[in-house]
Structure 1
């Protein structure tokens, strides 16, 4: 007997609606694989035209760009966190250790948990950061996790690179 065909995927079956959540602010980020369990604060674009970082005095806090999509909403949701602070390691210290297939959970204000799957983890020079690729609006719910990486420039008192995790909404609970 012939083997049964696999069930259609969401992308292949137009009768299955795309998974998109209504707007709801994020409350907590959980990434079990790298021991992250952190609350959110809101971030905005500063006078420099760049996204402000979360406050440097809390090593277990992530920031969400409030001017963009909420996690699970159609579009790109931007979340930033420190790799370290003056007092030691911070929330995104191990962010670069994530791999395609890693899971990122975001508990939202409405009580739902948006579950994202990592597509890629990439490092970019801050001098040649691909703003359009990272921040561009997307037709589906996507997530970008951003932190510093690469070598530390003692003169500039900053890292030379950014680590960016690209992920997509996979499910909801």
Structure 2
């Protein structure tokens, strides 16, 4: 995840942001990036002549899935979509600690939608085992401080490609927003 965020994300790129998003110290981020780059270089060298999966196709499919997820939520079908497409054991994480499950995700999404908050996809990146959706959060004019201005959905996928772990990270904070108070 640190390698993907650092090099393929648009809003979660600093060592400090990555550390907060992943729930690890900055030194661990540096170490994981160094190790990840070494592994990536070795993997690229070992597979230079082999056919590769379609990375652009994965990102395109992930963007479509993000749009479908947001549309289902706005139509009141977020719980049904999660039940159909996500792992039944989906865990909402803060760092490496589980703080909730699919029910909490549904309640949080419904609460934000009832408050007039909408999400707009800005960027998506995906691989076989993870996906990152970067969203702008659009608050209602009646409650412009309800949510921070942006959120990154950091998702770990199971072997079937279903989300089974999710971290929500707010890379840009408004001065009135307390990062610890918003899931």
TM-score (norm 1): 0.27
For normalisation by structure 2, the TM-score amounts to 0.26
Structure richer in helix, relative to its length: 2
Higher strand share: 1
